[in-house]
């Protein structure tokens, strides 16, 4: 007879310690975070405020039924913005479901994001990919699908290409902790490990994949520890600490340039609980934590914060209004871009789509 | 045919330094069928990659390489092993151009040996072409001769869309023929009428083309002149050549190794019905593999060999 233990034994392999930089009083723990210059520190804060405001509007639009889908990124701002800010202009980026703020950081206009959310013909990709993650080709933010982890081997392939071409370019790929259960996560990390490719794999661990808790995804001590099996570096970082996230991703990027290959970064976040008090959340809120840091450095005031929030709110509302203008795609459009040139069968079918008009393409 | 494919790969790798090959055992050993032999020696690790054993990883990484601007030619060791990569092919590769409005096309040529008759059993003999023809955004090619293999592979590599290039492994070494040294690309989407005739149109491709030709030669002795068409590109298929032939003959027989139900023959017959129904003199016929796994012990009974095709030709011809 097998006697099953009443509780799970502890994981056999401990994960790496969790790195944090921002303290409760707004100071930065020495050696845990790079000292950010004033300009960057403020920019990171402002971008997180923009991310929070944009997210709130997208959640509202989704609840109103104006857009079909939006996965809230509330509380993920530091993990997303900190990582996006740490890489270089020439690097490539692959988003999962909650990282639109990374595309905004890279220069995607707010209006383009809103066109994307609504699936209008003015969106990147002519609105065909909604509700997949947004992409922004001018800044190498690649088109991804909403499927879990399929983008991980794509990023590994980009990283391999850069290495094979002797170009100092890295690929940053985001995914949630649930995606680590998929074969594509394994295939991508393993490929990058074997080929020493400059892949920065950022796992946002917010504890939940839809309704399933992280302990149903893995028996290991967190997700960074999985790097050990791929022979790549592992880092676990406080994902609500934008200074720490920026620092560890910047270090991983520099190591990639030095030929050290891939790093798996686990950014741990804890979403706000429904019943959580403002005081409790404020202590954990990535935005409030960075604000206390700016205030500690004498870079921020109440007035400036109020001004920023008013500006951001107006920007987001203006972008939403712009995307609400009628700009419907012509009906034959969806037969284009299946192939570079439309084959005979799609020409026939596009005529059936537009019974009164001539077929597009040719 | 192995030599012709190897020649096409080497030719294109010399001509275009963006072309890279990746797959299981494609490097040092040159692939289990030796199709990539010598390429690793000539081009090295940065152009010919022995990958970890993961088809999903191979195709996923190839997509990333294509996004970067390279022209990856991944090999799936046997088409039977392609299913772990099915999600990457169907959900990602086939859809990237469309979902990005043309901004992020991913050009990948997937090579894979297909078909039975080498005593490979149920996991080394399959012909999964219909699964990929069904997916919008993919092109599917299957050559039947060394000359066509080189010309169609060069065209597939230079085509802007993702291509599944299925190599009929039963005739990897059995199919022989002159192959020019130089550069020639045979256009995709163009079938070849390899035997003209006026009584029955026979549609075939890959290794089964030779069975169709053998059956046609036999039928000729009974006075039935078959027009045998090698489709070469399965999708987008050369509908004009097919319809022109059926309008002439009024009769059509489709031959393929894959299981009958929902095989490509079903689509071909439907197309003939849509476009040439009133020219038909007899019901279209299919001579196919059976709706079973591929049997190791009975592969010659499973395959639609000439002895099974001939009765279908005669019956369709009304004899």
User: What are the tens digits of pLDDT across the range A119-176?
Assistant: 888 899 888 887 889 999 999 999 999 999 999 999 999 999 999 999 999 999 999 9
A112 and A244, same domain (yes or no): yes
In a domain, A2, yes or no: no
Is the Cβ pair A137, B104 closer than 8 Å? Answer: yes
Concerning whether B256 is annotated as a catalytic residue, the answer is no
Q: What is the CATH number of the domain that holds A309?
A: 3.40.50.970
Residue from the list A128, A154, A344 with its beta carbon closest to the beta carbon of B236? A344
Encode pLDDT of B215-252 as tens digits: 999 999 999 999 999 999 999 999 999 999 999 999 99
- The CA-CA-CA angle for residues B68, B71, B75, to 5°, reads 120
Instruction: Record the pTM.
Output: 0.96
Chain A CA closest to residue B71: A161
The answer to whether B64 and A153 are in contact (CB under 8 A) is yes
Is the Cβ pair A164, B20 closer than 8 Å? Answer: yes
A182 and A293, same domain (yes or no): yes
Q: How far apart are CA B136 and CA A121, in angstroms?
A: 21
Residue from the list A127, A157, A164 with its beta carbon closest to the beta carbon of B60? A157
For the sheet with B226-230, list strands across it. B192-195, B226-230, B200-204, B252-259, B285-289
* pLDDT score of A35 more than 80: no
Number of Cβ pairs closer than 8 Å across A and B?
150
Is the Cβ pair A340, B92 closer than 8 Å? Answer: no
Q: Which tokens hold the place of A212?
A: 């399933």
A221 and A335, same domain (yes or no): no
Encode pLDDT of A256-305 as tens digits: 999 999 999 999 999 898 899 999 999 999 999 999 999 999 999 999 99
Domain residue limits, chain B: 2-171, 192-316
Residue A18 near chain B (CB below 8 Å): no
ipTM of the complex: 0.96
Question: Which CATH number fits the domain B192-316, given the four candidates 3.20.20.20, 3.40.50.920, 3.30.70.660, 3.40.1440.10?
Answer: 3.40.50.920
Encode pLDDT of B105-119 as tens digits: 999 999 999 999 999
For residues B37-47, b (16+ Cβ closer than 10 Å) or e, as one string?
bebbeebeeeb
For the sheet with A233-238, list strands across it. A18-19, A233-238, A263-268, A199-205, A171-176, A92-94, A141-142
Q: How far apart are CA A251 and CA A332, in angstroms?
A: 48
Is the Cβ pair A153, B20 closer than 8 Å? Answer: no
Residue from the list B69, B102, B139 with its beta carbon closest to the beta carbon of A337? B102
Encode pLDDT of A310-330 as tens digits: 999 999 999 999 998 866 566
Number of domains, chain A: 2
The answer to whether B24 and A154 are in contact (CB under 8 A) is no
Please list every residue in chain A whose beta carbon sits closer than 8 Å to the beta carbon of residue B139.
339
What phi and psi, each to the nearest 5 degrees, are found at residue A285?
-60, 120
Q: Which class is B2-171 in CATH?
A: alpha beta
Please list every residue in chain B whose beta carbon sits closer than 8 Å to the beta carbon of residue A338.
97-98, 136-137
- Residues whose CB is less than 8 angstroms from the CB of residue A254 and which lie 6 or more positions away in sequence, other chains included: none
**Of all residues in chain A, what percent carry a pLDDT higher than 70?**
93
Instruction: Chain B: give the shortest CA distance to residue A332, in Å.
Output: 13
Q: How far apart are CA A361 and CA A341, in angstroms?
A: 8
Taking CA atoms, B55 is separated from A48, B125, B138, B178, in Å, by 39, 17, 18, 34
* pLDDT value at residue A297: 95
Q: Which domain holds residue A182?
A: 18-323
In a domain, A301, yes or no: yes
* pLDDT score of B289 more than 70: yes
Least confident of A53-57, A208-212, B166-170: A208-212
Least confident of A7-21, A52-66, A161-175, B141-155: A7-21
Q: What is the dihedral of CA B194, B197, B203, B205, to 10 degrees?
A: -20
A234 and A343, same domain (yes or no): no
Is the Cβ pair A339, B101 closer than 8 Å? Answer: no
Is the Cβ pair B99, A125 closer than 8 Å? Answer: yes
* pLDDT score of B209 more than 50: yes
Q: Do domains B2-171 and B192-316 have the same CATH topology?
A: yes
A340 and A309, same domain (yes or no): no
Encode pLDDT of B67-116 as tens digits: 999 999 999 999 999 999 999 999 999 999 999 999 999 999 999 999 99
Q: How far apart are CA B1 and CA B4, in angstroms?
A: 5
A215 and A343, same domain (yes or no): no
């Amino acid at each position: 007879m097998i006697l099953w233990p009443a509780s799970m034994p502890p994981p056999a392999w401990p994960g790496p310690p969790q790195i944090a930089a921002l303290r409760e009083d707004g100071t930065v723990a020495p050696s845990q975070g790079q000292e950010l210059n004033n300009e960057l520190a403020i920019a990171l804060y402002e971008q997180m405020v923009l991310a929070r405001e944009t997210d709130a509007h997208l959640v509202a639009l989704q609840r109103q039924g104006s857009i079909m889908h939006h996965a809230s990124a509330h509380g993920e701002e530091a993990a997303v913005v900190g990582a996006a800010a740490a890489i270089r202009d020439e690097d490539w980026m692959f988003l999962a479901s909650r990282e639109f703020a990374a595309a905004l950081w890279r220069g995607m206009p707010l209006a383009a994001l809103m066109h994307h959310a609504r699936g209008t013909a003015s969106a990147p990709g002519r609105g065909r990919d909604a509700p997949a993650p947004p992409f922004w080709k001018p800044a190498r933010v690649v088109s991804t699908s909403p499927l879990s982890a399929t983008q991980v081997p794509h990023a590994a392939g980009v990283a391999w290409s850069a290495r094979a071409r002797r170009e100092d370019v890295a690929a940053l790929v985001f995914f949630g902790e649930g995606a680590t259960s998929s074969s594509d996560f394994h295939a991508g990390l393993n490929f990058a490990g074997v080929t020493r490719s400059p892949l920065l794999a950022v796992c946002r661990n917010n504890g939940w994949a839809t309704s399933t808790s992280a302990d149903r995804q893995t028996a290991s001590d967190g997700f960074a520890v999985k790097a050990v099996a791929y022979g790549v570096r592992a880092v676990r970082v406080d994902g609500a600490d934008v200074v720490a996230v920026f620092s560890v991703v910047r270090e991983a990027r520099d190591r990639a340039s030095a030929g050290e290959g891939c790093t798996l970064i686990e950014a741990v976040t804890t979403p706000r609980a429904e019943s959580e008090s403002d005081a409790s959340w404020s202590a954990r809120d990535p935005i409030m934590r960075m604000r206390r840091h700016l205030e500690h450095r004498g870079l921020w005031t109440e007035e400036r914060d109020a001004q920023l929030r008013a500006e951001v709110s107006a920007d987001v509302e203006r972008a939403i209004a712009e995307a609400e203008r009628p700009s419907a795609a012509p009906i034959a459009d969806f037969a284009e871009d299946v192939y570079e040139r439309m084959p005979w069968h799609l020409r026939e079918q596009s005529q059936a789509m537009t019974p009164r008009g001539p077929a597009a393409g040719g | 045919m192995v030599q012709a494919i190897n020649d096409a790969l080497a030719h294109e790798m010399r001509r275009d330094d963006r072309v890279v090959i990746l797959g299981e055992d494609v490097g040092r050993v040159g692939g289990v069928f030796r199709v990539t032999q010598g390429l690793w020696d000539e081009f090295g690790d940065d152009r010919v990659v022995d990958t970890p054993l993961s088809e999903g990883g191979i195709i996923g990484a190839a997509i990333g390489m294509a996004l970067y601007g390279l022209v990856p030619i991944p090999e799936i060791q046997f088409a039977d092993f392609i299913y772990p990569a099915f999600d990457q092919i169907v959900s990602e590769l086939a859809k990237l151009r469309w979902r990005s409005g043309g901004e992020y096309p991913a050009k990948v040529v997937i090579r894979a040996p297909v078909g039975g008759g080498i005593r490979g059993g149920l996991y080394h003999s399959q012909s999964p072409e219909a699964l990929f023809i069904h997916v919008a955004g993919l092109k599917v090619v299957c050559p039947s001769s060394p000359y066509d293999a080189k010309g169609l592979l060069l065209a597939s590599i230079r085509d802007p869309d993702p291509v599944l290039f299925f190599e009929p492994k039963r005739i990897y070494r059995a199919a022989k023929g002159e192959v020019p040294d130089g550069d020639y690309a045979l256009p995709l989407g163009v079938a070849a009428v390899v035997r003209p005739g006026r009584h029955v149109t026979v549609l075939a491709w890959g290794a089964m083309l030779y069975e169709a030709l053998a059956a046609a030669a036999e039928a000729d002795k009974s006075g039935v002149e078959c027009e045998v068409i090698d489709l070469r590109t399965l999708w987008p298929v050369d509908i004009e050549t097919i319809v022109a032939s059926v309008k002439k003959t009024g009769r059509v027989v489709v031959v393929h190794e894959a299981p009958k139900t929902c095989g490509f023959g079903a689509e071909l017959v439907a197309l003939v019905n849509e476009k040439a129904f009133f020219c038909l003199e007899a019901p279209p016929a299919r001579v196919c593999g059976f709706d079973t796994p591929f049997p190791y012990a009975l592969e010659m009974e499973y395959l639609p060999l000439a002895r099974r095709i001939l009765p279908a030709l005669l019956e369709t011809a009304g004899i």
